[in-house]
Each structure stands twice: as structure tokens, then as C-alpha cells.
Amino acid sequence: MKKALSLLLFVSSAALADDAAVLKCRALPDAAGRLACYDAMPVGVTPAAAPAVAAAAPAPARAIPGFGFGSESVKKNVDALPKAMESTIIGEFDGWGPNARIKLANGQVWRVIDDSSAVLPRRSNTKVRIERNLFGTLFLNVEGSNSAAKVRRVE
């Protein structure tokens, strides 16, 4: 009973967040800035007594082009999302297998989520392109190869 009451009090105090502040945070395109905006909202006070949420969200942790590509956790309107992203695999690369983790030069880490595998000639700093198909599924294409792996961003 105590646990249920605590949960109810927590939920009801969270519901007091200012609607305008929530909508402002929701509109931020950068995930890190959006999270910082939500974290800055006071919880458990009435909207009238709450200090205003900072007008400008902090700069994203990384200002690398394409940094947020593939990190969407909820399916959105696929037409509104970027279609592709290009980077390189730092160091030696000779292919992949199921569940392989592939780290890109931009800091992103992708995992192969299908049963595909490819054995490629060993290369350094291999160029890759990650493309989104019509349904939003992401595929990693390696330059100079006609093989593609279904991938999901893990970092």
C-alpha cells in the first residue's frame, strides 16, 4: 500500500510540470539537448511557482555531422528522417558476421542484427554508408562491396 501511494504521489507531482515547458523541450531536435531541457524542469511544484526553464538548451555533447543518425528509439514518420549517413571504419576491416559490432570514425557503434556475413579483402579506413529503406530499416553498405548488413545503432 505504501509503495502504491508513493508511486501515486510521484506520478501526480510529475504531472504538475508546466505544459509549455514540456512542449518546448519536446520540440528540440537534439536528443541530448532535449534530455537536458526535461532534466531542468522542476518537478513537484505548481507551474506558476516553477522557475522558467532555460531558454537555450546546452550544446550537444558531440557536434559531429550525423551524430544522432540511427539513435531513434521510437518509429517516427520515416519520410522525415535522414535517408543515409556516411563514415569510415577506422583501422583494418575484412567483413562482418552475425552480431558483429562495427565502430565508425564518428564514434557511433552499430551491431549487425541479421544472419548476414561477408568476407571482404582486408582494408584500412573503409568507407561505409548506412541507408534507411522505405520501412525505416537501416542497412550498412561497404564501399566496393555489393553486400549489406541489417544494423542497429548501439552507441
pLDDT, tens digit, 9 for 90 and up, residues 3-38: 554 544 454 444 555 677 777 888 888 888 888 887
**68 within some domain:** no
Is the pLDDT at 104 greater than 60? The verdict is yes
Cα Rg of the chain (Å, integer) = 21
57 plus 93 within the same structural domain: no
Of 62-66, 103-107, 111-115, the range with the lowest mean pLDDT is 62-66
Average pLDDT, stretch 134-153?
Answer: 90
**44 within some domain:** yes
Distance CA 73, CA 113 (A): 15
Give the end of a domain, one of 9, 35, 61.
Answer: 61
Grid cell at residue 8 = 501515486
36 plus 83 within the same structural domain: no
53 plus 83 within the same structural domain: no
**141 within some domain:** yes
**72 within some domain:** no
Furthest-apart CA pair in the chain: how many Å?
A: 64
**23 within some domain:** yes
Kindly report the pTM of this predicted structure: 0.51
Of the chain, the percentage scoring pLDDT greater than 70 comes to: 65
Distance CA 4, CA 46 (A): 22
Q: How many CB atoms lie within 10 A of CB 111?
A: 18
| Residues 51 and 80: beta-carbon distance below 8 Å | no
56 plus 86 within the same structural domain: no
**144 within some domain:** yes
Range of the domain at 108: 78-153
**94 within some domain:** yes
Please name the residues in contact with 43: beta carbons below 8 A apart, sequence gap of 6 or more.
13, 14, 16, 17
Q: Could you report the per-residue pLDDT of 64-98, keeping only the tens digit for each?
A: 566 667 666 555 566 677 889 999 998 999 999 99
82 plus 23 within the same structural domain: no
111 vs 57, which has greater pLDDT? 111
User: What pLDDT is attached to residue 76?
Assistant: 58
Distances (CA, A) of 37 to 1, 20, 51, 153: 33, 12, 13, 24
95 plus 40 within the same structural domain: no
Mean pLDDT of the chain: 77
Grid cell at residue 90 = 577506422
**19 within some domain:** yes
Grid cell at residue 39 = 532534466
How many H-runs (helices) and E-runs (strands) does the chain carry? 3, 6
